[in-house]
């Protein structure tokens, strides 16, 4: 197919049409794009940039795993460097590979098994602090819990204890990561928008907190067995043998705190929102956990005996993928789906779109964990589910997140049932850096008999 085709397949009638029609709602905007071509849609942004949305699973896979030298992280992520620096999420090329090699051992199976104990202990502590009839925002509770877990497992510190210094700064930074602001109107980035200004002002507070954690570790002088100790001790045996500077350590710590808690927190918050609407599924889930684990502490060894719990978490991330869109920028022309894609174009893949496409999922909008279990075993295309991305940039925390998600659900569901205090439809989707429930998940806690 000739390069000419690209010009003719730009389907929006004026630049930025999808964003304008969706009134700035990115989820709606990708849906509108997908409606013009369910496999590979092409549009122009308000600033005239070419945007592609690869929704066919084969094409999404190609974007995530193919063309590693021709694609780099999209503009959205590049713009987060003002806070994430050159950490795992944002770095590129050889440097990224080296950092990934250094961090990888912290995510090996036997390490995750150790973290699992902490995950359950922190969850049990949270569950024990609630009372029957208490009103709670579960979205907030899940944020606290996952921040606590990341802090204790990866850095050996009590991040919740530092919540006062970290909390406001983290919120300011996360609020600025609205992808549509950055991706579709990137010039806005340098304008004095209050949200951007607040985020930039928050960075020194975050820096101070993170350098203090690094300094504490260094002063203690012993290997505490956590990721930070490993990163500090690491020497790149396959590379030049050097270790990491404090600035590199800071960038990795910042990245792992942000990437490691916000995503899982939202995945869990939405899981409870679904369960509150489906009492039969909720009861079956509680029964599975009771049968497999009784009343003793849950461990990683229980995971194979909790298939329904895994199915529930999979299904929640299918319909509410925390990382609902990922983008790449073309730095060398590529051919994708027969189209020549020019340098500077942004190529999006969206689990939000592909994971609810009726070609791969039966009754795609229904919350139905059974679709993951035999004999159904959906999806009908093996690459139609990718909440953790793929290829060399696949989420390094994927196994951590599956373990955490399943253990947290299991540990809470056997003690508590949650009833929404507002209609389920009043909980809106907020497409921020991840897919958040707004205004939260307000529930009443009911002790399970």
Among 393, 414, 417, 436, binds ligand HEM (CB under 6 A): 393
ω into 439 cis (within 30 of 0): yes
Dist CA 14 CA 37 (whole Å) = 17
Among 180, 270, 352, 388, binds ligand HEM (CB under 6 A): 388
400 binding ligand HEM? (CB under 6 A): yes
Dist CA 13 CA 264 (whole Å) = 38
289 binding ligand HEM? (CB under 6 A): no
Instruction: Count the residues in the chain.
Output: 449
267 binding ligand HEM? (CB under 6 A): yes
In angstroms, give the least distance from the CB of 275 to ligand HEM: 16
Q: At what angle do helices 398-413 and 138-154 cross, to 10 degrees?
A: 130
DSSP secondary-structure letter at 431? Answer: E
Dist CA 402 CA 410 (whole Å) = 12
Tokens of 142: 């899940």
Q: Which stretch binds ligand HEM (CB under 6 A): 9-17, 37-45, 118-126, 322-330?
A: 322-330
Among 80, 263, 354, 355, binds ligand HEM (CB under 6 A): 263
In angstroms, give the least distance from the CB of 400 to ligand HEM: 4
Nearest residue (CB) to ligand HEM, 101 versus 448 = 101
Alpha carbon distances (Å) from 159 to 147, 368, 407: 7, 36, 20
76 binding ligand HEM? (CB under 6 A): no
Dist CA 326 CA 288 (whole Å) = 34
Among 151, 369, 379, 387, binds ligand HEM (CB under 6 A): 387
In angstroms, give the least distance from the CB of 406 to ligand HEM: 11
Among 57, 85, 260, 442, binds ligand HEM (CB under 6 A): 260
Q: Which stretch binds ligand HEM (CB under 6 A): 1-9, 27-35, 367-375, 389-397?
A: 389-397
ω into 379 cis (within 30 of 0): yes
Q: Give, for 310, the enclosing helix (H) or strand (E).
A: helix 307-319
Tokens of 44: 């122009």
Tokens 């027969």 identify what position?
Answer: 338
Dist CA 6 CA 10 (whole Å) = 7
396 binding ligand HEM? (CB under 6 A): yes
Q: Which stretch binds ligand HEM (CB under 6 A): 197-205, 208-216, 263-271, 439-447?
A: 263-271
How many residues of this chain bind ligand HEM (CB under 6 A)? 24
Question: Contact positions toward ligand HEM, by CB under 6 A?
Answer: 73, 88-89, 100, 150, 255-256, 259-260, 263-264, 267, 322-323, 326, 387-389, 393, 395-397, 400-401
């Amino acid at each position: 197919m000739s390069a000419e085709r690209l010009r003719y397949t730009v389907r929006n009638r004026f630049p930025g049409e999808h964003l304008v029609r969706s009134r700035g709602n990115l989820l709606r905007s990708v849906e509108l794009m997908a409606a013009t071509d369910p496999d590979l849609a092409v549009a122009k942004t308000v600033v005239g940039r070419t945007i592609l949305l690869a929704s066919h699973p084969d094409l999404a896979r190609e974007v995530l795993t193919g063309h590693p030298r021709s694609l780099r992280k999209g503009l959205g992520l590049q713009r987060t460097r003002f806070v994430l620096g050159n950490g795992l999420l944002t770095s590129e090329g050889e440097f990224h590979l080296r950092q990934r090699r250094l961090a990888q051992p912290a995510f090996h199976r036997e390490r995750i098994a150790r973290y699992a104990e902490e995950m359950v202990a922190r969850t049990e502590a949270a569950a024990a602090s609630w009372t029957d009839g208490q009103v709670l925002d579960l979205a907030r509770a899940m944020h606290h819990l996952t921040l606590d877990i990341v802090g204790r497992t990866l850095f050996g510190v009590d991040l919740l204890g530092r919540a006062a210094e970290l909390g406001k700064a983290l919120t300011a930074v996360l609020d600025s990561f609205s992808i549509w602001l950055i991706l579709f109107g990137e010039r806005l980035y340098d304008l004095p928008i209050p949200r951007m200004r607040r985020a930039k002002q928050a960075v020194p507070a975050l820096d101070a907190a993170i350098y203090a954690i690094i300094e504490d570790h260094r002063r203690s002088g012993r290997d505490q067995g956590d990721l930070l100790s490993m990163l500090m001790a690491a020497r790149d045996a396959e590379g030049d043998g050097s270790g990491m500077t404090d600035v590199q350590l800071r960038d990795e710590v910042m990245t792992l705190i942000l990437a490691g808690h916000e995503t899982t927190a939202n995945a869990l918050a939405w899981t409870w929102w679904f369960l509150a609407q489906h009492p039969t599924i909720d009861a079956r889930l509680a029964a599975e956990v009771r049968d497999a684990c009784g009343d003793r502490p849950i461990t990683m060894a229980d995971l194979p005996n909790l298939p329904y719990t895994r199915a529930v978490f999979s299904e929640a991330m299918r319909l509410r993928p925390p990382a609902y869109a990922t983008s790449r920028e073309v730095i060398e022309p590529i051919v994708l789906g027969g189209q020549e894609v020019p340098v500077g174009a942004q190529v999006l893949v969206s689990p939000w779109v592909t994971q609810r496409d009726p070609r791969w999922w039966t009754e795609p909008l229904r919350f139905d964990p059974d679709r993951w279990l035999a004999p159904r075993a959906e999806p009908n295309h093996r690459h139609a589910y990718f909440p953790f991305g793929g290829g060399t940039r696949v989420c390094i925390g994927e196994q951590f997140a599956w373990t955490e998600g399943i253990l947290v659900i299991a540990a809470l569901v056997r003690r508590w049932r949650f009833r929404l205090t507002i209609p389920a439809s009043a909980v809106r989707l907020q497409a921020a850096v991840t897919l958040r429930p707004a205004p939260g998940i307000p529930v009443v806690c009911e002790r399970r008999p």
